Amino acid sequence: MATKSQMLHARGRRIRSSNIISYVIAILIGGLILGAVYMTKESRNWVALGKGKTLSSCNLFSGKWVYDDESYPLYKDNHCSFMSIFNGVSCERTGRMDSKYQHWRWQPHDCDLPRYHTTTTTTTHHTHPHTTPPPPPPPPPPPPTNTHRDMFDAMAMLDRLRGKRLVFVGDAVTRNQWASMVCLLDSSIPPALKSVIANRLIFLSIEWRVNVKSKEYNATIQHYWAPYLVQSNSDHPVLHNFSSEQIVGVQAIERHARHWTDADILVFNSHMWWRRPKFKVLWGSFESPDKIYEEVEMLRALEMALKTWSDWLEFHINRTNTKIYFVSRSPTHERYVEYESNPGLQFHFPFPPMWVFFRSFCYCRLKICYAQICRGEEWGKAKGENCYSETEPILTEGYRGRESNPKLDQMLETTITKLKTRGLKIQTIDITQLSEYRKDAHTSIYQRMWNRLTKEQLANPKTYADCANWCVPGVPDVWNELLYAYIFHF
């Protein structure tokens, strides 16, 4: 039988053990609470996912537009110094009074768009049961300048682009996205802290480069004009004309592609200039005196051009250092049809030859004429109306306009799939469906590339409204949110 002394000793051990266990449990609970608080503060770094979803399985491109006048726009037009130089897509500066089109947020069905990428590091602390646990790590400092860091962390993007080149390759829609990216970055940096080389015209491209004092980013964001990706007679970044006969060198790409070889991130898009039924294809070089031409259907010309483009990527891109993205078709809220006509008819194209954007027009080549058909009746407007004066998105889920071309979309998808099977990682930023809803966000009559529309042209918006390009700030900012998500999370 245990003595009284032994019983007291055992009881003391049990009490001490119980106290130690209680203390350890208290520390663990406290740590969990502090961790939960800290994770709550940091929760903006994570994606809110639906049940059973992972980030890689969430479809960021299936969703709806939600009006959000607290978080959007991600920047103000007058805070982007670049817009004072290149204001061709700044609808606000060119007279658009309503701003509702700037306040819509894209909300995927099963998750939220990935928010800012944190660079905060944490330290592991080893504690003894009898020591006081260290205080939790401090929350990350608030963003110094970007009031919408939750949506797009410009400084994190600049960190990622330090000493690198991000190149957007394509047509005027790609230039919309490039201008948006420049403004997302530029508007987040106080003028006193940055030096910018903006709007520097180099061969077929426009360049924006930024250095922030105390940090040498030397980040370059560039747009390279190549509407067909391969060479064509519309390759000049200013002096080109959509209404003229289009000649495409479907096997010639080197003159363009040599300017992309050392890019760190490549973003491609090509659709807008393919919207015609036939093309004149050039075999060989534009410089060759013995040029051979052949007229082919659009899909055949596109197929050959994409093969040349994909072959070049396969053999020239550094697969370790270069990220490649292809932005899907940007829908217009207008469409083009062809019809037979009297070849003697004369049509007047109302813009100077350098005018890049598409307008309502009719032109003839041989016996085939092309005309723009306004699509306002698709969303309830009178026949012959277009995107002019639209202030609301289309809210019917799954809406697809009559301009959509499944065969063209399938050809692009097949090309990218083949590249993946060859070991080249290329990711698609699918903007088509989400942009299809946004009939309200085009530049309409509120654009200025070289000259503003005249009073007579402004009085005729059915003819002169641009329903192909997009206002900035606006829909292209969401395209870049998606690109940002892929750069950091995929």
Is 352 a residue whose pLDDT tops 60?
no
Cα 490–Cα 322–Cα 107 angle in degrees, nearest 5: 30
> Of 20-29, 216-225, 419-428, 438-447, which range is least confident?
20-29
| pLDDT value, residue 344 | 38
Contact 185, 154 (CB under 8 A): yes
Is the pLDDT confidence value at 350 over 50? no
Judge whether residue 170 has pLDDT over 90: yes
Quick one: pLDDT at residue 316? 95
Please say whether the beta carbons of 174 and 228 come within 8 A: no
Q: Are 305 and 205 in contact (CB under 8 A)?
A: no
pLDDT for 102: 97
- Beta-bridge mates of residue 339: 369
Question: Higher confidence at residue 7 or residue 170?
Answer: 170
Residue 124 has pLDDT above 60, yes or no: no
Do β-strands 205-212 and 104-108 pair in parallel, antiparallel, or remain unpaired?
A: unpaired
CB 74 within 8 A of CB 473: yes
- Give the torsion sign (CA, 359, 365, 367, 368): negative
Distance CA(101)–CA(449), nearest Å, equals: 21
Residue 227 is assigned to a structural domain of this protein = yes
Number of Cβ within 10 Å of residue 209's Cβ equals: 16
The gap between the terminal CA atoms of the chain, to the nearest Å, is 69
Confirm whether 101 is domain-assigned: yes
Counting residues of the chain whose pLDDT is more than 90, the rounded percentage is 43
| pLDDT tens sequence across 416-451 | 999 999 999 999 999 999 999 999 999 999 876 556
* pLDDT at site 328: 95
pLDDT digits (tens, 9 = 90+) for 292-331: 999 999 999 999 999 999 999 999 999 999 999 999 999 9
Residue 104 confidence (pLDDT): 98
Residue 34: inside a domain:
no
Does residue 181 have a pLDDT over 50? yes
Q: Give 227-282 pLDDT, tens digit per residue.
A: 999 999 999 887 777 777 899 999 999 999 999 999 999 999 999 999 888 999 99
Q: Which residues of 17-30 are buried (b: 16+ CB within 10 A; e: fewer)?
A: eeeeeeeeeeeeee
Instruction: Confirm whether 345 is domain-assigned.
Output: no
Look up the domain containing 473 and give its range.
56-117+147-333+400-489
Tokens of 114: 């990935």
Angle, helix 475-489 to helix 172-186, in steps of 10 degrees: 70
pLDDT at 367: 40
State how beta strands 323-327 and 265-268 pair.
parallel
Q: What is the structure's pLDDT at 113?
A: 83
pLDDT on residue 54 = 58
The answer as to whether 476 is a domain residue is: yes
Residue range 330-354: mean pLDDT, rounded: 50
State pLDDT tens for residues 31-90.
444 444 333 333 333 345 554 455 667 899 999 999 999 999 999 988 887 776 666 788
Give the number of domains in the chain: 1
Q: For residues 338 and 321, give the distance between their C-alpha atoms in angstroms, rounded to a whole number.
A: 44
Q: What is the pLDDT of residue 429?
A: 97
Whole-number Å distance between alpha carbons of 442 and 31: 51
Q: What pLDDT is stored for residue 194 in this prediction?
A: 73
Residue 386 · residue 372 · CB < 8 Å: no
Structure tokens at 467: 């329903």
Domain contains 100? yes
Residue 353 has pLDDT above 50, yes or no: no
Domain membership flag for residue 8: no
Question: For residue 473, is it within any domain?
Answer: yes
Name which of 129-143, 171-185, 206-220 the model is least confident about: 129-143
